[in-house]
Structure 1
């Protein structure tokens, strides 16, 4: 016996990855449905060795379905998620729409699985921002040991975080650099992304930070601890898939780098690759397709009393989006829902 699962936005990068991961992890599915907008109606997507034809989200009846994994933007989610939730289907939403709603749990299963029971207030669970998800997996076990006071993080985020249009723009611009006649000015990003980095993700806010940076601050507080101070600088880099982060952590008490390394080795969802030699660390291209959040470059920060630095890398389409959503579904099934 299993669950009836709908994947909303099944033709997008994250939706396709959700289907892949559901199959890979052998999620107990009795019936599965791929939903998309009317313009994608009839498109084919893969689920394990099966091929699914997408159905029309606009006319779909969620009654009798157990779980809906949403991988569409906030505008569409605002229309369809409440309909699914009202019909008794638990929504796991990848957009930012519900992340800051006090009545909607924001879940990273390795970090705050116990909070999932709060889904009953609206029948909705939120998936965090991709850059937040991988960071909190690394922070939580260290916080449990030595209490984190402050985090300074700089992100190096791949273009897939901006969807298919971001991937296409990097690809087209890279080719055009070698063929100047075929000039490809930026349309998705604010400046050229090929062979460049852009210190700007999402819209600017009044204090000079971007909304992506604000998300990391607010979401870390909601998921891990409201008292942690976070400051972030989020940067788009010319990498197709895989987000990287340079994280500086200040603790309330001293934590030796060797102990931190061992704590992280034992932490769920974490893989430590940390050798002080050429290539003894993980880069974004090496994490693609993997479930883990990789930690490298763990070292003491001698400029403050209780500080550590580390390097954190993860596949943003997986842990940053699709994998975390499926893990939420697994946790929901284990703790809250009955099969069949």
Structure 2
């Protein structure tokens, strides 16, 4: 209940900040009410009559009314040069202060039956200067709040631009793999049709259709449960098994407590494709790919290993300058997790290559 109350309060406050016009009027009423209250509390120390509260309210109301035109004037000259802004602010504040002093004089005359007589111009001038400082402070607050709001708008636009660029980068990285995968699959289907293996070609096309549907239904910038990622991976492996038949063996070992962990959509497929291309396809008798996932402290540890011929190049250079699949996966992980991830390649025992990925463990709520 307390959380809901806080959320409602924050929601109303955010709505107030977003509505600039309503925010101005709230500040205007609160500011001049505070002005009257502070002066009234000060008057109690001098044992002023209760009627003085009415004079203070009328004075605050006059200040309230006189500052409204200033707002519209400042909005009109907002884009003017700094020197013109300074001159207009000073002149407008002084004129408004002089009018306010006149209203004060009339109020005193009507209530106390005394005011500024013609020979007391000096007192009228001092009253005008005092009110000039008040209106100058109001003008400074107005410009300060407006500039702060503009700064927040620019910051919000910069964050939105960064977010859009980040999303575009992730989409580019994810969709970069599809043409490569489609080329291999369609080429295999074409070969099956040429050798009259129409049934296998049809099965392969159906699996490809399901895989592409999954790819379209899941945005590259979003994360999905590991269980769904494995379902998509099995669709891809079904396609590859049509090509390799018994030469391709796959073992999946995933702990139950990480099946609902969130992972980038289709980030395992390029790694499996890499293993098939450089491990399974290179060995006449085929090979095995093992996919495992488990909890590692507060992280999710995923490994993809094969028993292929391994790699003759230094693994450090392969990790940073590998093919499209490896480089693409590293860039996606970096874009999503920053420095809070690891991507390592090691030799698999007794032979082959092993890829280990560690990312923060995020469970589906």
TM-score of the alignment, normalized to the shorter chain, above 0.5: no
TM-score normalized by the length of structure 2: 0.22
Q: Please identify the structure whose Cα radius of gyration is greater.
A: 2
TM-score normalized by the length of structure 1: 0.23
Q: Which has the higher strand share?
A: 1
Q: Which has the higher helix share?
A: 2
The structure with higher relative contact order (CA 8 Å, sep 6+) is 1
